[in-house]
A and B are shown apart, each in its own frame.
Chain A
Amino acid sequence: MLNIALPKGRLGDDVYKLFSSFGYYCEGLGEDRRLVVESLESEVRYLLIKPSDVGIYVEHGAADIGVVGKDVILETNPNVYELMDLQLGKCRLAVAAPVNYYENPNNILRVATKYPNVAKNHYRTKNRDIEIIKLNGSIELAPILGLSDVIVDIVETGKTLEENNLEVVETIAYSSARLIANKAAYKFKEKQINDLLVKLMEAYNK
């Protein structure tokens, strides 16, 4: 039985469609509120997990493999194998600021973000003194209300930024969904994991 951690939401739905097309099918997944759905026939068990927790489940072996955004990997740095770029959920981690914003280098830069580690690492490489304001949502509000100077967040189309009179000033990293594996599970379930990997690679190379 292969335990697969899927992020709840659109990305998880897309990944499930992809996996089920190779035979990793599980009846009833997403049709009710169950968070664990398994199929003895396909020898697969799906776990539906909050996206930011997928890495934790896989690192600690509660799931053998999982799908998680590179943005989450960069933030949480889980000790896992990153086996494949699934090319889904593409976006970028960026610094955004109000349109026409000029940074005052004499002040400590106030950065609002859901990604404090990514922000810290980014500004550490630039030797810039910053103050992190950790938020859990509606990050775009922070500079509008003067809570922060800039934000570090994921940007997909840029439409939300635009509608809030913000613009990208710097791209930190590009992100997309990655297939990750627990390091011990990869040794003991190598064949099952590699079978899935081969099917994915064939699908992507078509």
Chain B
Amino acid sequence: MFNINTLPREEQLSIYLGNLYEQFGYNRFKMSRFEEYDFYTKYKSFLPKGQFITFNDTDGKLMVLKPDVTLSIVKNANCEGDIAEKIYYAEKVYRTMPGTGDYKEISQIGLEWLGKVNNYSLVEISNLAAQSLAAISNNWMLDISHLGFVNGLLDYFNMDDKTKKDILISIEEKNRHELSIKAKQLGLNDEGINMLLSLIDITGKAVDCIDKAYELAVNDEMRLALDEIKLIIKSFEGKKELNNLRLDFSIIGDMNYYNSLVLSGYIEGIPGAVLIGGRYDNLLKHMHKKDTGAIGFALRFDEIARLIAEYKPKVYDAFICCSGQNNPIELNNFVQSLVREGKSVLTGDRADNIQARIYYTIVDGELKEVGKC
């Protein structure tokens, strides 16, 4: 009979996550692999950089193999009502890889909360992000950052957009030496330079760092951002996952895309972030969805599958050695009867590289157990 434990670990994980998200009220969104090119030209700033795979469909329309899932979900979502639309997906997207420029199929599993975003949504999404990471491995970290906090400090120093962008690059690289040089060039005094450096230096267990972050807050934008983070930390109090939560304001993501909370998850053994998420209200505004917000995350499932996949040679319940057997109907009947007993069966002339629990041969119209044949 079907038993989930017999599935490969990555498939078990995918089913587990799907069930988890369903329990929290998320519905699966299954989408087409293609989207019209015109759609993406309008929202290019919300897409990952790089080339897309395009082709003409039968009526001449230029189509794209989807480089992103969220845009299509938001486009189709009816999220202006009182109840938020909660969606999860397990899809493949097609992107160019930085460095080589080669196209790559990437598996993603993720979820989106679309509609009225409130404090509960922040808590639920952060907790589900943590639960998703914990389902993959015991050694995981969830980094929390908030663009309101980072932007609040940069605004305090009256930076224009171009300078901000330049400063953010150094923060994202945790590049203290270049950040110091840039801050000096801006004419900041030692106190100002140290405040900017604190955006890199305040990092570690969230519960240990949050007070240091409050000390740095100089305006309401920064304090409000920290209040949201504090609420998330509080929601983990008394749970062992609290130790896996980190504050890291160098997690900036794409400023065009995210506008406040940013999440980034890591699993030991995978060199980059496997979970990326956060709040992205700007995209909904761009799509003229009024009074709505959005928050969600995506898991890089191909990277995760590579880590957890176990290769074991398959062991069949039964192997029927049918060398010299010329009655296919009789052979099929034997196979069917074993399958009905819930066994996996393989037939063949020899079992040289095959592992089975029991080996059979057919003698006088009956199955006879033998040693390896």
Contacts and interface: CB of A to CB of B under 8 A. Distances in A.
Interface of A: 59-61, 76-77, 79-85, 181-188, 190
Interface in B244-286: 246, 250, 266-273
A83 B174 contact: yes
Contact of A188 (B175, B268, B272): B268
Interface residues of B, number: 22
B173 A184 contact: no
Interface of B: 98-99, 139, 141, 143, 173-178, 204, 246, 250, 266-273
Nearest to A176: B177
Chain B interface mostly: loop
A84 B270 contact: no
Nearest to B143: A187
Most chain B CB within a 10 A radius of its CB, from A183, A185, A190: A183
Contacts of B175: 81-83
Contacts of A183: 266, 271-273
Nearest to A179: B177
Contacts of B269: 61
A184 B177 contact: no
Given A183-B271, A184-B270, A187-B246, A77 B177 contact: no
Contacts of A188: 139, 141, 266, 268
A25 B98 CA distance: 35
> Of B139, B173, B267, which is in contact with the most chain A CB atoms at under 10 Å from its CB?
B173
Contact of A79 (B98, B177, B250, B266): B98
Contacts of A186: 174
A61 B270 contact: yes
A83 B267 CA distance: 21
Given A82-B174, A83-B176, A85-B177, A184 B271 contact: yes
Name the residue in A61, A184, A185 with the highest tally of chain B Cβ atoms < 10 Å from its Cβ. A184
Nearest to A190: B204
Given A61-B271, A76-B99, A184 B176 contact: no
A182 B178 contact: no
B265 to A, nearest CB: 10
A120 B143 CA distance: 35
B272 A184 contact: yes
A83 B200 CA distance: 10
Contact of A84 (B98, B176, B267, B271): B176
Nearest to B244: A187
B267 to A, nearest CB: 8
Contacts of A80: 173
A82 B178 contact: yes
A185 B271 CA distance: 7
A63 B173 CA distance: 17
Contacts of A81: 173-175, 250
Nearest to A58: B271
B99 A187 contact: no
Given A81-B174, A82-B178, 12 more contacts: A59-B271, A82-B174, A83-B176, A85-B178, A183-B272, A183-B273, A184-B267, A184-B271, A187-B141, A187-B143, A187-B246, A188-B141
